Structure 1
Amino acid sequence: MMEAIRQSECFPLATASESGMPNVVPIKFVFIESPDEIWLVDNFFLKSRHNLQENPVAALYVYQPDDGLCFQLKGAVELRESGEKYARMRALVHQTRPDLPARSLVVMRISAIYQCMPGAGAGERIG
């Protein structure tokens, strides 16, 4: 699964407002910090940022059809705009895209992983 994250180039990120209004945006920068922590980069979040402030949970969709992998990561998130992790995230982004703002770091602590491939196991919790 971690290799699928490293190889993917676009990730749908789902959030919801406090009242439950959903929002999904494509993001490019996702970094694996540890097996249970991933970093998401806020370059241009508007509704997503507001949702994460109101309701700090999210879901990230990962799809690698060539490898037959499709899964969803869910977890609590924390927004960071300073500190050592934030500085490391900005450096990682600016190595390849110095033109991007890398406004904030979204630290996601993975609490559940679900299978998304069609078939008998679709929707089952796998982690």
Structure 2
Amino acid sequence: MVKLTEEMKAAFSSVRVFPVATASKDGIPNVVPIGFCMLVGDDTIWIADNFMKKSLANLRENPKVAIYVWGPDTKGCFQIKGDVSIVTEGEDFQKMREIVLAKMSQAPAKSLIVVEITEVFSCTPGPGAGDRIPMMGQ
């Protein structure tokens, strides 16, 4: 696992909607805007599955995800890649449901997508664009 820096965590917390990318086992990509994307540790992200169809199908076939982090209040931008597990019961699932339902009472909160961060890449324009950012644990 890879731990985000304090600057990355601050940037993550300032973003309201995250482009989240998945791909089927055949490599067919899908990108969706996700509002319920929460950093729950230095190396773990929770994504609430409210209305996922293609993304959830992709994650079942290919449990990998990429999350783009950028907003007008961030310094630069970066891409997080990670391994996914899909959780539909237990303490973490219930905690996610409480958080989601407190913000949007009609949300189905069907499953919790747990992302263990494996790599982080720079998206800032310039010579380092696309480079892997060395992190603790890599």
- TM-score of the pair, normalised by structure 1: 0.95
Matched-pair contact (CA < 8 Å) for 2:66–2:81: yes
CA positional deviation for 1:66: 3.4
Q: CA RMSD in A?
A: 1.0
Q: Does 1:111 align with 2:93?
A: no
- List aligned pairs for 1:40-59, cutoff 5 A: 40-59=47-66
Any idea what SS the aligned residue of 1:91 has?
helix
Of residues 60-69 and 89-98 in structure 1, the stretch that sits farther from structure 2 once superposed is 60-69
Alignment partner of 1:60 is 2:64: no
2:27 equivalent to 1:20: yes
What are structure 1's unaligned runs of at least 5 residues?
none
Q: Any idea what SS the aligned residue of 2:125 has? A: coil
Structure 1 equivalent of residue 92 of structure 2: 85
Which runs of at least 4 in structure 1 moved beyond 4 Å after TM superposition?
Answer: none
Q: For structure 2, which runs of at least 5 residues remain unmatched after alignment?
A: 1-7
Aligned positions, number: 127
Aligned partner of residue 64 in structure 1, secondary structure: coil
Deviates most, 58-67 or 100-109 = 58-67
Query: Normalising by structure 2, what TM-score?
Result: 0.88
More strand by share: 1
How far apart are residue 64 of structure 1 and its match? 2.4
**1:34 positional shift:** 1.0
Letter in 1 for 2:124: M
Whether contact under 8 Å (1:68, 1:117) holds in the other structure is no
The alpha-carbon deviation at position 7 of structure 1 amounts to 1.5
